[in-house]
Structure 1
Amino acid sequence: MSKISWKPGNMIYPLPAVMVTCRDRGEDNVLTIAWTGTICTNPPMTYISVRPERHSYDMIKNSKEFVINLTTKALAKATDFCGVRSGRDMDKFKELGLEKEEAQAVDAPVLAASPVNIECRVEEIIPLGSHHMFVAKVVNIMVDDEYMEENGRFALEKTNPLVYSHGGYFETGKQLGTFGYSVRKKKKRKKQHGGKRK
């Protein structure tokens, strides 16, 4: 295998393609974000990085609240649309027929069609260059009970999650393992007792 040096850039793919909803002074908006992820488990914290020229940037900066809505294969077209069209020019909810519901812990809408709505409150804004990072605490999560299993597990994989990779949108594939499977000891089969049948 041979490798070549390439220009510095962001090559950490795939990433979740999420739709972020926000509200400021009675106006609602939704934008697509790929620069997002987990920062901390306890307390639960996340981030989104937004270009300052985006319409939602000032809305989130003013309100200090937003919701990360996970996307699915069914939301692929809406996800792309909300990344290339501005809320300055149109009501994207109305344009796409996206149903809104109210968040429970923040003053912002959530997308009814999203299987997971992560309500966030901004703790810090870090100017980084092309994007500014909104560091936020997760204050509530709403999930679609259609994907709740009897044991209390949320089956996110059944929602057909959408991911973004180097300019393209992809649905996720089959599961290859679970956390820790590489070091997990195999259970020994119990020997069956009893003689031969006569």
Structure 2
Amino acid sequence: MAKQVWQGGNMLYPLPAVMVSCANAAGEKNIVTVAWAGTVCTNPPMLSISLRPERHSYGIIRESGEFVVNLVTARLQRACDWCGVRSGRDHDKWEECHLTPASAAKLELAPAIEESPVNIECHVRDVLELGSHHLFLADVLAVQVDDALLNANGKLDLARACLTAYSHGEYFELGRRLGTFGYSVRKKAPKDRRPRRR
């Protein structure tokens, strides 16, 4: 396989393009689309998002110290893109995208997006000023999940959500399951050795 050095920058794709909702004490609410987001720690549960300081939501989150990561479905993808290319300085993204602010379970200011099936409520622990982007390291205080995503055993089934991903300027709907965690090393089930009826 022939390869060459790529000069295009970050190549860690695909990414979860998420809608981050926030608000400040003055009641200003906004939504910003973030592709640079990820899980940081399981115990305690933590995640991070990276924002450019010039983004309108940056100041709101820096001031309030909280935000909600809202997962994006195929139905929300157009709103997700729109919230990423328009500024909250000039637009009321909630109204123009027909999105509903919902009360968070543990946060004081930041609302969740009602139309998103999963809302991850976060409290900022630290801000790392890295360069073009600043990384918000946050504790996950609560996760709200749409009842429709829970199976009969109460297990979360995200495949039902039709989630999307972002890869190098394009959006994709997640589709075919290739396996489950650990399937590559799992022993095959023993064959049924009972005699068959003829």
Q: TM-score range by the shorter chain?
A: over 0.9
SS at match of 2:124: strand
The aligned residue for residue 33 of structure 2 is 32
Q: Which amino acid aligns with 1:90?
A: H
SS at match of 1:46: strand
The aligned residue for residue 149 of structure 1 is 151
Aligned counterpart for 2:171 among listed residues 169, 172, 178: 169
Aligned counterpart for 2:142 among listed residues 140, 143, 146: 140
Q: CA deviation at 1:189?
A: 2.0
The aligned residue for residue 20 of structure 2 is 20
Deviations 1:131-178 (A, max 9, x none): 000000000000000110011211111111010000011101200001
CA RMSD of aligned residues (A): 1.2
Figure out how many residues of one structure are paired with residues of the other and give that number: 196
Q: CA deviation at 1:19?
A: 0.1
1:35-46 matches, cutoff 5 A: 35-46=36-47
Tell me the TM-score normalized by structure 2.
Answer: 0.96
SS at match of 1:83: helix
Q: CA deviation at 1:39?
A: 0.5
Structure 1 distance, partners of 2:8, 2:71, is 29
Structure 1 distance, partners of 2:122, 2:106, is 9
Q: Which runs of 5+ in 1 are unaligned?
A: none
Q: Which amino acid aligns with 2:9?
A: G
Structure 2 distance, partners of 1:27, 1:102, is 15
* Greater Cα radius of gyration, structure 1 or 2: 1
Does residue 102 of structure 2 align to residue 101 of structure 1? yes
Any runs of at least 4 consecutive aligned residues in structure 1 with deviations exceeding 2 A, and if so which? none
Structure 1 distance, partners of 2:19, 2:87, is 13
Q: Which runs of 5+ in 2 are unaligned?
A: none
Deviates more, 1:77-86 or 1:184-193: 184-193
1:111-150 matches, cutoff 5 A: 111-150=113-152
Q: Which amino acid aligns with 2:53?
A: P
Identity %: 54
Deviations 1:21-45 (A, max 9, x none): 0011211100100000011110000
